[in-house]
Amino acid sequence: MDIRKTAGTAATVIIGQPVRPGCEQAFEAWQNDMNARAATYPGFIGAQINPPTAVQSDWVVVYRFDSVAHVQAWINSATRQERLAEGQQYLAGPGTQQVIAGGDRPVDPLVTVVVTHRVRPELVPDFLAWQERLRLAESEFDGFRGTELFRPVEGIQDEWTALYRFENAEDLDRWLVSGERRELLAEGEKFADFHSRTIDNSFGSWFAFDDNGQEAPPPSDTKTSLAVWMGLYPTVVFLTLALSPLHLPLWLGMLVGNLLSSFAMSFVAMPYYVNPVLKRWLRPPREVSKTRNNLQGLAILLALNAFWVVVFYLVTTQFWNLP
């Protein structure tokens, strides 16, 4: 089991809020303003808003800061307290908050369950052993993708926080209603003071936060397809040229090429080429003309693809003939 410590690590805050019926749009506007204010504080990395889904009934807001100290500064700030007082009118009841110190990402793009436990100091060894038995049982279920256990965060949160992730809601439900889980929960009755929250966090990694780290509406399917096309064309040609000396049969070449292109798109082409170049087109600022922005984005996209067409034409016909 991966037990995360707090010193010198980034920190994530997961906040659940029940919203009054009919106040959803007003709440989201208020929360976007809250996120924009958080972005002005030192150490801010990003924030995202998850509306209710089939597996989560509350609105869930996730903040990411580069350290526990910076999280604490934001949580206790006068700015946040003033905004919270104003936002009470949109809430149907008290919210929940978990602070997680450590980890490389806020949450994985899976169904994530966040469980917080209050554990008396003398029971910590028993608690850790019980958590390990839970992990071993979970790992036998289809769709299980891992678990992490985070220690209390001094000055912010006294609870232990456990995250466990499944591929989808159906796989998670099989674990939640299983006899194995019921037996383990009965075995851990002395740790029954806990709170559980499920987060359906299905945000993709190719199109991420806006400039302020806020989760922005995704580009349209048409824009997404064109943007992927812009990154895919040079990626596939480069890989084809690189693999050509190996003289692989078609069936094997396509298998290897597709695998490499998937990694190249996710880790190179999209984050370092497509997203920076097409940023204003994919996520236009509110004040710009939609028509003008679309024309400019299409012009950039077509010009760059034309550039690559010329480059690859010259490379494959004038300088190098493919075997």
pLDDT bucket at 322, cuts 50 / 70 / 90: low
Tokens linked to 266? 């996710």
Mean pLDDT, range 277-286, rounded to an integer: 80
Mean pLDDT, range 87-107, rounded to an integer: 70
pLDDT, one tens digit per residue, over 117-131 is 888 888 888 888 888
Per-chain mean pLDDT for the chain: 79
Tokens linked to 323? 């075997």
Contacts of 54 (CB under 8 A, 6+ apart): 169, 200
pLDDT, position 282: 82
Q: What are phi and psi of 195, to 5 degrees?
A: -130, 135
Longest dimension (CA), the chain: 75
pLDDT, one tens digit per residue, over 74-90 is 887 888 888 888 888 99
pLDDT bucket at 303, cuts 50 / 70 / 90: very high
Q: Are strands 160-166 and 144-150 parallel, antiparallel or unpaired?
A: antiparallel
Domains of the chain: 2-200 (3.30.70.100), 221-319 (no CATH)
User: Per-residue b/e over 61-92, b at no fewer than 16 CB within 10 Å?
Assistant: bbbbbebbebbbebbeeeebeebeeebeebbe
pLDDT, position 192: 63
pLDDT, position 200: 58
pLDDT, one tens digit per residue, over 153-162 is 776 677 888 8
In this structure, of 201-205, 254-258, 284-288, the range with the lowest mean pLDDT score is 201-205
Mean pLDDT, range 99-106, rounded to an integer: 57
pLDDT surpasses 70 at 218: no
Instruction: Give the helix ranges, DSSP H, for the chain.
Output: 24-38, 68-75, 78-87, 124-138, 169-176, 179-187, 221-243, 250-264, 275-277, 279-282, 290-314
Chain centre to alpha carbon of residue 78: 28
Containing 60, the helix (H) or strand (E) segment is: strand 59-65
What is the distance between the alpha carbons of residues 271 and 277, in angstroms, rounded to a whole number? 10
Share of the chain above pLDDT 90, in %: 13
Residue 31: CB atoms within 10 A of its CB come to 21
